[in-house]
Amino acid sequence: MSWYRYCLLLLCLLPALAWADEPLLQVQQKLRPEFQSLAGSRKVPGLSIALVVDGRARWVESFGYADRNLRRPLRNDSRHNLGDLSKIFVAALAARLAAAGKVDLAVPLTRYLPDLRIAGGDTAAVNLTRLLTHHAGLPANQLAGMYYEAGTAAGVASLPPQALYFAQPPGSVYAYSNIGLELAAQALAAAGAASYAQLLQDQVLTPLGLVQTGFAPREDDAQGHRKGKPIAPPVLAREQAALGLRGSIADLARLAEQLTAPVPQLDLSSLLQPYNRDSLLDLDYRNGLAFSLFADRRPQVGTLARLSSLYPGARGRIDIALDQRTAVIVLANGADAGDAVDETIDALLDAWLQAAHAIAPREAKAGLPVRAEWPAAARPDSAARYYSSAAGLVALTPDGDDFDVRVLGLRFSAERRDDGWFRLHLRLLGVPLDLGPLRRVLVAPAVVAQQRVLIVWAARRSYLIGSAWQPPPLPAAVQALAGSYRLLNPDSLTTELGIARLQLELDDGVLSASYPLDIPLLRTRVPLQPEGDDALRVPGIGSIVGERLRLERADGRTRLHYSGYVFERE
């Protein structure tokens, strides 16, 4: 082609190229000033964003500081604490090894870890799919020693035996578990005959050119911040595979290219396929090997995949609009940046969908519909007296067709609607208050899979939030446990949360545990029931319930062992 004809062709293509970039320019012109003004603040020292469309990173940019004290700029290659986003890499490695025939995600985990024993149930019911989708029934965490300072040894070995027990029947319900993800990483290492870190490097990081992703902290990393101050030395996670990766926004954008490309270099589609359709107790909640999957409140958007991260001094989130092959990622190096991360990622995705697909932004304060659908697996139920939930004990008292709700030290009135759902009103000093968030949620007692449960409706989706609980008769020895217990082995987590004591209370035949919350007016009340002679259990179905407390009585002392912590009766 002659030089003249080449220039002529280029001139003809320029308008088309400009038109193709017009949606991106609109998004950048609208949002870049907002991101620039947000970053550098006490709550959001640094902010990294990425927009990936059809397998190509369209916008990757960082704002603010990697270290606010030193005014060290945050760059696209600065590594953040990825926290829960590390789970994407565990799932990606599992997908790679499964595609190579080195691992079968559906067989019992004991094929790869033959000495594995999980107390309280059938270990053979656990497989990699259930671990990666949080359906293995394991407890959420072993909290003591979960985080530790760089340069010191972790206080407790990863996956101590006391953390390996069934909090829920395997396969029955979604129950978030870092213990389960770490166990999956150990199984992958055994199947691949190498360390998890080496397999991840060989199978995922190197093939995708992810050169800024790894476990060891570096001096040029984005520092985690708390209340605007850098956290030094850096905080590391004991469960490294589940929580401990560090990576840059540029590397995450490259990974997202594989998740949005029509023909990816590595097939990671299994991360975005629902695996829990048969779990009736999950209601409208669906999840893949790493992501939560749900229908956006705008029907024209379709399914969204989401994974959020909360890590000491860092927050992050990735959303993928599957039908539009669009991923948005936001990372921030501040413990107080959670709201900013959510608002930023929502604004970025909405702006792109509007500019590129003419889809209107979501209504931030959308009200409730006249009639809200009931999930197919649920039917209305009368209110039980008590429900056990991740928020602790929920007490319901009938009031005609309505009922009174008490949870976390707060009181609500629940007003029945014609569709069988109940609308909540906060009662403060006896006065009902119609607060903003309560205008967008509904609750209802229901029966699902022959279980009496409490469910919530929000943004066109229904979720399990608690299960009915009948307090059992308490032997005198259990009633005598009521009292104050002092924490004997505090660590950085309990110090941060301000927990130095645990109070066991006996009220109206209910034994419960309470501890302080750093939030005005809120008070925990976690129900407990005896399990044998030397243990208590948090009753309930779902996440953060079903966990055990071990009793130790010796030399006139009574101690409670919970999640690695030891509390002694005062």
Mean pLDDT by groups of 10 residues along the chain of 570 residues: 52 46 94 97 97 98 97 98 98 97 98 96 97 97 90 65 94 96 97 97 98 95 94 90 97 98 94 94 94 91 96 97 98 96 97 96 81 94 96 93 92 94 85 70 96 93 95 95 96 85 94 82 90 94 95 94 95
How many residues can be counted in the chain? 570
**pLDDT score of 16:** 45
Q: Look at residues 289, 349, 345 and name the one whose alpha carbon lies nearest to residue 323.
A: 349
Unique residue bearing structure tokens 């925990």: 524
Phi and psi dihedrals of 121, rounded to 5?
180, -165
Q: Report pTM.
A: 0.93
Cα 86 to Cα 237: distance, rounded to the nearest angstrom = 11
**pLDDT score of 15:** 47
Under 8 Å between Cβ of 465 and 445: no
**pLDDT score of 440:** 86
Under 8 Å between Cβ of 391 and 408: yes
**pLDDT score of 157:** 58
**pLDDT score of 152:** 75
Q: How confident is the model over 127-176, as pLDDT tens digits?
A: 999 999 999 999 999 999 899 888 776 544 568 888 999 999 999 999 99
DSSP H or E stretch at residue 287: strand 286-287
